[in-house]
Structure 1
């Protein structure tokens, strides 16, 4: 008798679970879509800031960066390209650098290559991220007291 009651309870529970199933459709992360758009998005640098102890000490813009472009792709590989303009920042600068990018929501970190700093991938703290504006911060010391803040603007230029 107990076995019959247990069988009925299990059968009813299985029917309820099967009848209440809902198709789940994953949605892409909103923040990473702000970086890359639906398929890709191109950014240009508008301003650099040097900060010490969270206080901006200097604002500047390197002339060689005004025509550089940074393109983030929304594909599964998360491809990333930097295109140097006519004004090179250093001797031997590549006209096109290809790499990948990542975005981590938990600590608001965008990792990418920035040829003016290094050829390798660097972690940038995301201070601000909007549809047309992005501010990244690169700390220069272990204590996180000295940094560069890089202001980007979305551009339709390729």
Structure 2
């Protein structure tokens, strides 16, 4: 009988020990914003664009074939801070020796309900525009702007821009 009681007490103690050590793991899915910014900031480089006109695609145009080399290696830094800071930085090739490393600072906005990312692509426009997110992963982002968002006239055309993340 003593052996049986010892066995019960020991078993109950072991069960209590293991039950007390369990931790419920809650998965934390990555949000669109985290894909864009990482945990602090993420650096992106424009790598290509494509024109879609009445459903006809121009084909992917590498950015180094379309822009001056001093603009084709520039970088976009999206920050995860509360102000949603955006920096547009010079790449290794500058357009002039007096050009600053930071070309300008602005902010970005993401609207998840319709997958819109509002920011400036200086080689396209000098103002913040609403780009539709077509694809966003850890390493690649494709956004599209429709002409009807730029012009008042209804035009069946758009630009698609593809960025690659340079943040490791």
Unaligned residue ranges in structure 1 (runs of 5+): 1-26
* 1:1-158 map, 5 Å: 30-63=31-64, 64=69, 65-85=71-91, 86=93, 88=95, 96-141=103-148, 142-143=153-154, 145-156=156-167
- Give the TM-score of the pair, scaled to structure 2: 0.67
CA radius of gyration, larger in: 2
**CA contact 2:47–2:63 (8 Å) conserved in 1:** no
Whole-angstrom CA distance in 2 between matches of 1:93 and 1:40? 20
**CA contact 2:76–2:88 (8 Å) conserved in 1:** yes
Q: Which has the higher helix share?
A: 2
Distance 1:41 1:87, change over 3 A: same
Residues paired across the two proteins, number: 128
Q: What secondary structure, in the 3-state scheme, does the structure 2 residue paired with 1:119 have?
A: coil
2:21 is matched with none
Q: What secondary structure, in the 3-state scheme, does the structure 2 residue paired with 1:71 have?
A: strand
Q: Which has the higher strand share?
A: 1
Q: What root-mean-square deviation, in Å, do the aligned CA atoms of Structure 1 and Structure 2 show?
A: 2.5
**CA contact 1:36–1:72 (8 Å) conserved in 2:** yes
